[in-house]
Structure 1
Amino acid sequence: MATANTLERIFSVDYKSKIQPIVSLCIGGWGLENLSEPNEVTIDNSTGNIYVADSGNNCVKVFDCDGKIMFKFGDKEGKGKMYRPIGLAICRDRILISQSRNCILNYQVNGEFVSSIGKLGKGELEFINPLGLTFDESNGEVYICDYNDNRIQILSQELTYKAQFGQDNLHSPLDVKLTKEYIYILDGSNPCFHLYDYNLILHKSVISREHKLQVFIPFFFFIDNSNNILIITDYYSIAFLNSQLELIHRIPITQPNGVTVDNRGRVIVVCDGGEHHLNIF
């Protein structure tokens, strides 16, 4: 049974009260403390550290819970070399990173390179522009959005190929998250949400432009399992949805990309709106 992204220490978060960021760092540029074209953001729940895929700087930046830079990683040469990292997923002591060179990089959370998985193609362990990815924390399996192959690939805990699904229904999958009941996939072409069960059978699809959620240009999303809230980065806002996929709150913000929630109930967003912000609400 999947338990990924569960926030065990969150019991109730008043998301509607989140209007202005309590921390907003405008750190665009190319130095250690700067971000350039940031994509996904995720939290190491054991430490509270914030990991950002710094695409323009070809590395991952690690900040503490208050937004202070700690270190960066991404080998300059060899198999661990990063090129425009996009998606991030942390499980225990390792972090997986999707990147524009059509492979997945496997690192320790301390920045030590372990292995590279996959190559360009349409077969098993082959990718064309992999984007969002997530762990099933109950068994260590990995779900990867293979964007231009229009599918989800599942890897084992050992990062070997296990299965794939979605070719009949997906058209440019952007991000994937897990709950106890369903595999949620954000598809960029409509855009829409697809909900699959763990037998990899499509349960339902919700097209946003025909639905109350009204999300138009999404990228990443996060599921707070404790409250059944979906948080989606849209082109000019962050949209908060309830378990019925109904819009309950929206924060105007320019070009948000990655979004996550920490164990204190703070919503953390990185933006690529020309100023490359790290925002904490």
Structure 2
Amino acid sequence: MATAEVDLSFITQIKGSRKKIRDCLKKSHEALRLRESTLLSRIDQIEKDYNNKTQEMNSLVEALNKEMVQATETLSANKLAEAHKQINEQTAETGSSIEFEWDNQFETDIEQLGSIKLNTQTKISPTHSFLPQVKPVVPDYKAKQLPIACGCKNDIHKKVPGELNGPRGIAVLNQTGDIYIADYCNHRVQVFSSNGDYLFMFSEKMNKPIVRARRELIKSVGSYGNGKVQFYYPHGVDVSDRNNNVYVCDSYNNRIQILTQELKFHSILGIGMFKYPRDVKVRRDRVLVLDKSDPCMFVFNPDHDLINRLITRGDGKQTNKPLRFDIDRDYNIIMSDYCSHCVYVFNQEGEQIHKFGKKGQGIGEFYYPFGIALDNTGHIIVVCQKNINCLQFF
């Protein structure tokens, strides 16, 4: 019987190969685990270094901020001390003094104060001094029956400085209290001190001025029409204390045109609302427009959304012909009534809280009152077109 012979060397070779493969896989797995451990350790070190650098940077930024604050405080204090020294030296020469009311707004304006330059020609007086952002007061309207002062004559024949002919618009420069009056029929603007003394005038290229003007003509804009930066009998004007945009009552076009500080067209307010806008005031978070319609006072928010319409009527009747108005810090409305020859005061809900004046030429009387303004000290200033004493202070 024949027997089969098995080559066991082949099996041995297979087993040897399998062992080598297992050993190689084991070594590869260990190498991968070592590589993974090295990478994780490296990542941990990078994260740790990043956190340390971040903390170091934050510490540097904090230290830099402290140094900047200290430097700013030192610089501001030095500028304030220098400006105060200059003012004290000047007031000592003129025999007068200035007292500043410190508040947060003044602190923010310290850079402006630090840039003041005084010289021997500078005159400092109670009516001509630098007043840093004086906060307007709310007047006691019940006390406004008789004027505390009268100033300038109404002269229809002469153009003597300090005399007016048909005055209309009026504006008060808050920093000094100087009063700018549009001398309508004399084609000029005259400027008076806060107590009514004539200061100077300017009249370049003015044809029956009504609105506010500067001492020197910087730029003129507009033409007749109803397009952009065109006007049809522009009336009242005001400048926003938020962005310096200029609001113009484009009266016969029944709209308010808004121009940028550079007198470029910005937008139009009140299309389809107004019948004849006469005056406008822009204060903080409100825009108020006096219109010929009834109710006559429109109130807008800064985005020009209509938020209210006020019925400003006096003594239970509609005012005869309101032409100009001003507002105090509580949004009370002080309004001149041209044909009723009086001044009305309404609260921000449109309710009458005071009235003073009557037709006449005497003290505390009005003959066609037109321009009206409220200064920072609470005085109401009124100009009348036909009063003998056409400028009165209440």
TM-score band, normalised by shorter chain: 0.7 to 0.9
Query: Residue 98 of structure 1 aligns with which residue?
Result: none
Secondary structure, counterpart of 2:280 in structure 1: strand
Q: In 2, Cα distance between the equivalents of 1:25 and 1:272?
A: 14
Please report the RMSD computed on the Cα atoms of aligned residues, expressed in angstroms. Answer: 1.9
Rg larger for: 2
Query: Residue 305 of structure 2 aligns with which residue?
Result: 201
**Residue 343 (structure 2) pairs with residue 238 (structure 1):** yes
**Residue 198 (structure 2) pairs with residue 69 (structure 1):** yes
Secondary structure, counterpart of 1:204 in structure 2: strand
Query: Residue 117 of structure 1 aligns with which residue?
Result: 221
Q: In 1, Cα distance between the equivalents of 2:229 and 2:138?
A: 39
Q: Is the 8 A contact 2:276 2:291 kept in 1?
A: yes
Q: Bigger relative contact order, structure 1 or 2, given CA contacts below 8 A and separation 6+?
A: 1
Q: Is the 8 A contact 2:312 2:350 kept in 1?
A: no
Secondary structure, counterpart of 1:86 in structure 2: coil
Query: Residue 98 of structure 2 aligns with which residue?
Result: none
**Residue 180 (structure 2) pairs with residue 51 (structure 1):** yes
Change in 2 beyond 3 A, CA 1:133/1:67 = same
Query: Residue 4 of structure 1 aligns with which residue?
Result: none
Which one has the bigger helix percentage?
A: 2
Farther-moved stretch of structure 1 (35-44 vs 193-202): 193-202
Query: Residue 3 of structure 1 aligns with which residue?
Result: none
Counterparts of residues 12-51 of structure 1 (less than 5 Å)? 12-29=138-155, 30-51=159-180
Post-superposition CA distance 1:139-188 (Å, at most 9, x none)? 11111100000000111111110000212110110000123332111002
Q: In 1, Cα distance between the equivalents of 2:293 and 2:387?
A: 25
Q: In 1, Cα distance between the equivalents of 2:393 and 2:160?
A: 21
Query: Residue 323 of structure 2 aligns with which residue?
Result: 219
Consecutive unaligned residues of structure 1, counting only runs of 5 or more, are: 1-6, 76-80, 89-94, 96-106
Change in 2 beyond 3 A, CA 1:33/1:210 = closer
Query: Residue 249 of structure 1 aligns with which residue?
Result: 354
Query: Residue 150 of structure 1 aligns with which residue?
Result: 254
Q: In 2, Cα distance between the equivalents of 1:170 and 1:223?
A: 20
Residue identity matched to 1:152: I
Change in 2 beyond 3 A, CA 1:269/1:69 = same
Post-superposition CA distance 1:196-222 (Å, at most 9, x none)? 222222223234459958422100000
**Residue 383 (structure 2) pairs with residue 280 (structure 1):** no
Give runs of ≥4 in structure 1 deviating > 6 Å: none
1:52 positional shift: 0.2
Give me the identity figure in percent. 34
Query: Residue 206 of structure 2 aligns with which residue?
Result: 82
Query: Residue 128 of structure 1 aligns with which residue?
Result: 232
Secondary structure, counterpart of 2:273 in structure 1: coil
Residue identity matched to 1:279: Q
Residue identity matched to 2:223: K
Q: In 1, Cα distance between the equivalents of 2:337 and 2:386?
A: 12
Q: In 1, Cα distance between the equivalents of 2:356 and 2:315?
A: 19
Q: Is the 8 A contact 2:334 2:343 kept in 1?
A: yes
1:276 positional shift: 5.7
**Paired residues, what number?**
249
Q: In 2, Cα distance between the equivalents of 1:238 and 1:196?
A: 24
Secondary structure, counterpart of 1:148 in structure 2: helix
Secondary structure, counterpart of 1:87 in structure 2: coil
Which one has the bigger strand percentage?
A: 1
Query: Residue 262 of structure 1 aligns with which residue?
Result: 375
Query: Residue 186 of structure 1 aligns with which residue?
Result: 290
Query: Residue 104 of structure 1 aligns with which residue?
Result: none
1:254 positional shift: 2.5
Query: Residue 272 of structure 2 aligns with which residue?
Result: 168
Q: In 1, Cα distance between the equivalents of 2:384 and 2:258?
A: 29
Q: Is the 8 A contact 2:298 2:308 kept in 1?
A: yes
